[in-house]
Amino acid sequence: MLGLPEQDHDRFKNWLGGLKDTANIGAVIRAIPGVIRVVRYLRSVSRSGGSALPDRLIAALRDAETDGQRLSEDELVSMIFLLFGAGQETTTHLISGGLLALLSHEDQRRRLQSEPSLMPTCVEECLRYVSPVQMTKPRFATRDMVWQERQFRRGDMFAGFLTAANSDPAKFEDPHRFDITRHPNPHLSFGTGVHFCLGFQLARAEAAVAFERLVTRFPDMRLDTSGRKIEWRRRLGIRSLAQLPVRLVA
């Protein structure tokens, strides 16, 4: 969708691979050279005459004009970086985490296979149950205040935990139960208000297609923990699997 040349896809992902362990400050520091390479690369492909495919999003952003003004190079690079990070990685974790939930709840997977019309509510439940984005960006108190019976001072930092909101028993009946028929499902996995996720419909569509293809092509897929174990990455604010061992039966 972005329009990066296909031969560059793997190295582009490899450059960003060091950001997989953001809970480790050493790993973050070691990832800096890769991030610098990404920024340099995006500057080169997004310039007029660069290698971005002409009918894709990078070219469209580069050529967009409003009242005679266009995005600066810095703005364009920042937008591409955000779109890749927010639009590709989070959906990856939604799909892998949702697949784990389905494989861990045999009754729910079988019901989805027998009732494909449940796919929309299944995707919403995976968004709530997995909560691939665990927390919001930090907020800061603009004044001294008492909130939730605690005293806060001007400048104190807050972070909203979306995963806690998505398990709130005041909002969800039996919140720790995975139920693909759950409705209504007022989860906050896409945020809310002016910060609502720009790509929410694309994420829903991608997850629905992935789940449909997997349960159709491999109806007897099983978790395979005989020699390996399910591993989660140590990521600050992101819930992501390091590996998900499965046994495929076509």
For residues 116 and 135, membership in a common domain is answered with yes
pLDDT, position 168: 97
User: Which among 52, 71, 90 is the end of a domain?
Assistant: 71
Same domain, 18 and 83: no
3-state secondary structure the chain: CCCCCHHHHHHHHHHHHHHHCCCCHHHHHHHHHHHHHHHHHHHHHHCCCCCCCCCCHHHHHHHCCECCECCCHHHHHHHHHHHHHHHHHHHHHHHHHHHHHHHHCHHHHHHHHHCHHHHHHHHHHHHHHHCCECECCCEECCCCEEECCEEECCCCEECCEHHHHCCCCCCCCCCCCCCCCCCCCCCCCCCCHHHCCCCHHHHHHHHHHHHHHHHHHCCCCEECCCCCCCEECCCCCECCEEECCEECCC
At residue 244, the pLDDT reads 93
| Domain termination site, one of 71, 91, 119 | 71
Domain assignment of residue 227, given as a range: 72-247
Q: How far is residue 128's CA from residue 180's CA, in Å, rounded to a whole number?
A: 10
Task: State whether 94 and 200 are in the same domain.
Answer: yes
44, 152: one domain: no
Q: Are residues 85 and 48 in the same domain?
A: no
At 186, which CATH number? 1.10.630.10
Each residue's pLDDT expressed in tens, for the chain with a length of 250 residues: 888 888 887 877 777 666 655 556 676 677 788 888 888 888 888 887 778 888 888 889 988 889 999 999 999 888 887 777 667 778 999 999 999 999 999 999 999 999 999 999 999 999 999 999 999 888 899 999 998 899 999 999 988 899 999 999 999 999 999 999 999 999 999 998 888 888 899 899 999 999 999 999 999 999 997 877 898 987 778 899 989 999 987 6
pLDDT at 195: 82
Task: Answer with the one of 29, 49, 71 that is the final residue of a domain.
Answer: 71
How confident is the model at residue 21, as a pLDDT? 57
* Same domain, yes or no: 102 and 65: no
Answer yes or no: do 28 and 110 share one domain.
no
Are 223 and 137 in the same domain? yes
Co-location of 228 and 120 in the same domain: yes
Same domain as 239, residue 121? yes
In a shared domain, residues 54 and 159: no
pTM for this structure? 0.80
What b/e string do you get for 199-232 counting C-beta neighbours within 10 Å, with b at 16 or more?
Answer: beeebbebbbebbeebbeeeeebeeeeeeeebee
The number of distinct structural domains making up the chain is: 2
User: Do residues 182 and 171 touch, judged by C-beta distance below 8 A?
Assistant: no
Please indicate, yes or no, whether residues 49 and 160 belong to a single structural domain of this protein: no
Among 125, 108, 119, which Cα is nearest to 186's?
125
**Rounded-to-10 torsion of CA 119, 124, 130, 134:** 150
